[in-house]
Amino acid sequence: MKLPFPSLLLGLVLSLPSIAQKGTSTPEVFTASAPTLEWRAENWNIENPLVKAQSFVPGWELILEKEVNSLGGKHWFYILKKWDLILDNQKLAVHEYKNGDLLIQYPALNQTQIEAQALTIDTIALKQELNCYRSDIVPAYFNSTEGLLSGFSANFYGNEGLHIKGFLSGSKVHYLEDQRRHFSGSDSTCYTFIFLPDPLSTANVNYGGSFVDNNDGDNSSLNGERKLVSFTATYDSGTFKLENADIKIDDFSAPNIAPATSNNTTFNYTRSMDGFEDVNAFYHLSTFKKYIDSLGYSNLPGNLISVDVHALSNADQSYYSPSELKIYMGEGGVDDAEDADVIIHEYVHSLVYGASANSGRISERAGMEEAICDYFAVSYSLAHSPNQRDRVFNWDGHNSFWPGRMASSNKDYQSLSFTNNIYQHTDLMASCLVEIHDNTDRATADALVLEALFPLLNNSTYPDFASMVIQADQVLNGGQNYQIIKDAFVRRNVLPADFSLNEASAYSTQIKLYNTMAFARKRAPLFIESERNLSQYELLDLNGRSVAKGNINGLKVELSFPELKAGIYILKIADENQASKSFKLQAL
């Protein structure tokens, strides 16, 4: 997402009090999903993995949603269905790796059935409040920390690819999520001039002087930064078109500007001409897709992606719409399609969507996806210019229009909180991945991040993804880059300093913490589960002072801190073998 303002999700929540009710008060919003569990095995050859997966969700039918191959193995994603109703908010995933490892990710299905309530929300008013013109509302289940809810899965659709998904029951809106991923014939070789990757990077200057947008105006400095490149276009009945099997420059959003075509093999534009954005976006997207294919991930994103580079009525934002397989690029400020960082960022959203389970994202997971997209934008730009390596959106941002983002950070993950602004800490994850890139090479680092996308879940955290990258290195490279990867994440306290290689596959499974959202809001009990007997706990504040500690016993333990003051805390849990894991907690 490339937006110069906070997440739309907050706007969705704040707008709800104005929604008319059928004789009820204002609807409540947002319910915590039950946790997702993981089961792992090495050298698996006992039975069909699906049989094992089914054993974790007895009584539920598994319906294959998609099957994806990666360089490291095969990945299956299943929708859960019971009594003709689907589970709205969670899915089951099976990952079978070429080294013999098996990973199954499945929802911790709540056995408490919450009785269905008549829907009292005025869905027509809700649809209007969300600026949508169509809605699909069907009965479904929602697996929450409080119980298995019966209600309605709701999809609202509006103009310009707007798609908002949610779950409703009684007078309550359990969640709402914008499904768009923001920034916010025969083939023939053609030639064009583009920015590679952007004029500020190649000139190694900051925004200002002759290097300004000036309402798309031409000048010798900006035109001088264009680079001559060749690309493959489609030749159809005497016309060369900017489309191929993977990318199509299209027109589906106002202002209505037809895509550039040519009757010869030359597309020659300066930035003041509409066709410049067309060829700039098409070249970068086509080049990047060929590169992804060369790494062994030709099945991503799995669909033709259409791109409108003159979209959104000149707004200064861009986004990917998964439901339409379209990228919308605005022209407010600096035209987004003039900056390769924006172009690649938006396309990577389609790769994430193609590789992982397509379910709603909580704030930390949403921010992590933005950081992953930022990383690939930086990685791509560095392949063309070493300048301004710490900046994301060098040309589109870092100016009077909006501040852009960074890919360098020494933030301490354990001291951060993740709120409605999903972009607030993208620099932390992006900087970890860039450090891995710098200490290996582009192809190695990019392949590791791509492979780590497949087990990515809607509630994955930064430490989860760190473990996924380490696991990807085990699968692809036999763990050759373990220390490099670990150092990058330990340096920013995403992983603990004593994280060991043996923990890489078990890190997210040995000790689990649940009910953190309810704890944050209501000081509800925390639930801890482990595969080994638990022995001790300690709660620390950010200054390292011990707030509470004690002995615990059992595989499942409940901890309560009802009088805890608002703030950020670190909870350390140890098992009988003194293996420990730290969790960041927020008390609101």
Length of the chain: 588
Strand residue runs (E) in 316-458: 318-321, 326-330, 391-392, 405-406
CA 369 – CA 367 distance, rounded (Å):
5
Q: Predicted confidence band at 115 (pLDDT cuts at 50, 70, 90)?
A: confident
Token readout for 489 is 């994440």
Phi/psi for 116 (5° steps) reads -65, 140
Residue 18 pLDDT more than 50? no
**Is the distance from CB of 407 to CB of 389 less than 8 angstroms?**
yes
Q: Higher-confidence residue: 510 or 317?
A: 317
Say which CATH architecture domain 36-107 belongs to. Roll (3.10)
Residue carrying structure tokens 């849990």: 573
Task: State both tokens at 356.
Answer: 């992982």
131-135, 493-497, 501-505, 547-551: least confident range? 501-505
Tokens representing residue 194 in the block: 């583009």
- Residues 450, 452, 453, 456: what is their CA dihedral angle, to the nearest 10 degrees? -170
pLDDT at 8: 33
Q: Point out the least confidently predicted range of 17-26, 82-91, 195-204, 460-469.
A: 17-26
Other Cβ atoms closer than 10 A to 291: 16
Q: Count Cα atoms within 13 angstroms, Cβ side, for 208.
A: 4
Confidence at residue 503, expressed as pLDDT on a 0 to 100 scale: 53
**Angle CA(448)–CA(423)–CA(297) in degrees, nearest 5?**
25
| pLDDT tens digits along 77-108 | 999 999 999 999 899 999 999 988 999 999 99
Give residues with Cβ within 8 angstroms of 558, minimum separation 6.
525, 526, 527, 528
| 114-118, 234-238, 287-291: range with highest mean pLDDT | 287-291
Q: How many CB atoms lie within 10 A of CB 328?
A: 28
Confidence label for 568 from pLDDT (cuts 50, 70 and 90): confident
Give dist(CA 297, CA 529) in Å, integer: 36
Alpha helices by DSSP H, 234-273 = none
The average pLDDT across 273-302 equals 96
Q: What is the pLDDT of residue 29?
A: 47
- Those residues whose C-beta lies under 8 Å from the C-beta of residue 221, and which sit 6 or more positions away, are 199, 203, 209, 210, 211
| pLDDT for position 361 | 65
Q: What is the pLDDT of residue 105?
A: 94
Residue 379 pLDDT = 98
Q: Scan for tokens 């037809």, then name that residue.
A: 258
* Contact in structure between 156 and 134 (CB atoms under 8 Å): yes
Q: How far is CA 510 from CA 10, 35, 185, 580, in A?
A: 34, 15, 54, 9
pLDDT digits (tens, 9 = 90+) for 216-253: 999 999 999 999 999 999 999 889 999 999 999 999 99
How many Å from the N-terminal Cα to the C-terminal Cα in the chain? 27
Architecture of domain 186-355: Roll (3.10)
What pLDDT is recorded for position 55?
94
Residue 7: which pLDDT band, with cuts at 50, 70 and 90? Answer: very low
What is the band of 546 on the pLDDT scale with cuts at 50, 70, 90?
Answer: confident
pLDDT digits (tens, 9 = 90+) for 416-455: 988 778 999 999 999 999 999 999 999 999 999 999 999 9
Task: State the pLDDT confidence band at 15, using cuts at 50, 70 and 90.
Answer: very low
> Which tokens sit at 511?
């000790």
Q: Tokens standing for 370?
A: 């933005």
Domain coordinates in residue numbering, the chain: 8-32+113-179, 36-107, 186-355, 363-503, 511-587
Spatial contact of 429 and 368, defined as CB atoms under 8 Å apart:
yes
Q: Could you give the CA distance from residue 500 to residue 404 in angstroms, rounded to a whole number?
A: 36
Domain 511-587 bears CATH identifier 2.60.40.1930: yes
pLDDT above 70 for 334: yes
Query: CB of 375 within 8 A of CB of 408?
Result: no
pLDDT in tens, 461-496: 899 999 999 999 998 998 999 999 999 999 999 999
The answer to whether the beta carbons of residues 407 and 378 sit under 8 Å apart is yes
Q: Where are the alpha helices (DSSP H) in 27-135?
A: 49-56, 123-129
Which residues is 218 bridged to in the sheet? none
Contacts of 317 by beta carbon, 8 Å cutoff, 6+ apart: 2, 3, 4, 182, 183, 184, 330, 332, 336
Tell me the DSSP string of 489-535: HHTTTSS-TT--GGGTTTTTTSEEEE-HHHHHHH-PPEEEEEEEEEE
How far is residue 586's CA from residue 144's CA, in Å, rounded to a whole number?
20
CA distance 504 to 466: 9
Q: Report which of residues 110 and 16 the model is more confident about.
A: 110
Task: Identify the pLDDT of residue 392.
Answer: 98
* Contact yes or no for 17/26 (Cβ under 8 A): yes
For residue 43, give Cα distances in angstroms to 47, 51, 93, 450.
Answer: 12, 16, 18, 23
Q: Look at residue 588 in the predicted model and tell me its pLDDT.
A: 83
* Phi, psi dihedrals of residue 332, rounded to the nearest 5°: -70, 150
pLDDT tops 70 at residue 204: yes
In degrees, rounded to 5, the angle at the alpha carbon of residue 339 between the alpha carbons of residues 357 and 195 is: 130
Q: Confidence band (pLDDT; 50, 70, 90) for 172?
A: confident
pLDDT value at residue 182: 67
Q: Is the pLDDT of residue 506 over 60?
A: no
Strand locations in 147-301, DSSP E?
A: 148-157, 163-169, 172-178, 181-182, 186-195, 226-236, 239-241, 247-249, 261-262, 266-267
State the DSSP code for 565: P
**Residue 358 predicted with pLDDT over 50:** yes
Please report the pLDDT score of residue 42 as a whole number.
84
Query: 377 near 396, Cβ under 8 Å?
Result: no
- Nearest Cα to Cα of residue 407 among 208, 180, 201: 201
What pLDDT was estimated at residue 2?
A: 55
| Rounded distance between C-alpha atoms, residue 543 and residue 570, angstroms | 10
**Reported confidence tier of residue 181, pLDDT bands at 50, 70, 90:** confident
What are 120's strand-pairing partners? none
Q: How far is CA 214 from the centre of its chain?
A: 33
Whether 71 and 125 have beta carbons less than 8 Å apart is answered as: no
Question: Of all residues in the chain, what percent carry a pLDDT higher than 70?
Answer: 91
- How far is it, in rounded angstroms, from Cα 279 to Cα 260? 8
In the predicted model, what is the mean pLDDT of residues 356-385? 89
CATH architecture of 363-503: Orthogonal Bundle (1.10)
Residue showing tokens 């992606």: 305
Phi, psi for residue 557 in degrees, rounded to 5: -135, 145
